[in-house]
Amino acid sequence: MSRFGYLAMLLFTAAGSWWLEWAFKIRVLRRIRFTLMTILPISLFFLIWDWFAIRSEHWDFDYQQMLGVTGPFSIPLEEYLFFIIVPLAIILTYEGVTKLKPHWRDRHDGSRVQR
């Protein structure tokens, strides 16, 4: 089971937020192109950072908890998935919360919210 540790954490993260898509009809996954265009640029930046840290021996992975599949630049598959699943979970959570509490979204536009 330890070989699936990282993957299990990713599935737990996904399960904790993906249900919001259907429960609150937030439609993030229906806007997949927009969502991916939000996630991919920053994910690319962090993957380059990961590659540099691994290459410089500042960063490493516990390969005992991974499937053993690596992608480009010898970065494990789970790390690629991390940079998609975690930002998606954040977006889903934010959209779900602001669907229930729309006045929280209004706080970010710089104006005061009247109660």
Interval 24-77: pLDDT, tens: 999 998 999 999 999 999 999 999 999 999 999 998 999 899 999 999 998 999
Residue 82 domain flag: yes
Residue 115 domain flag: no
Residue 62 domain flag: yes
pTM for the whole structure:
0.82
- Domain containing 21 equals 2-105
Residue 50 domain flag: yes
Residue 85 domain flag: yes
Residue 114 domain flag: no
The reported pLDDT for the residue numbered 93 is 93
Total number of domains constituting the chain: 1
Residue 112 domain flag: no
Coil, strand or helix: which one is 61?
A: coil
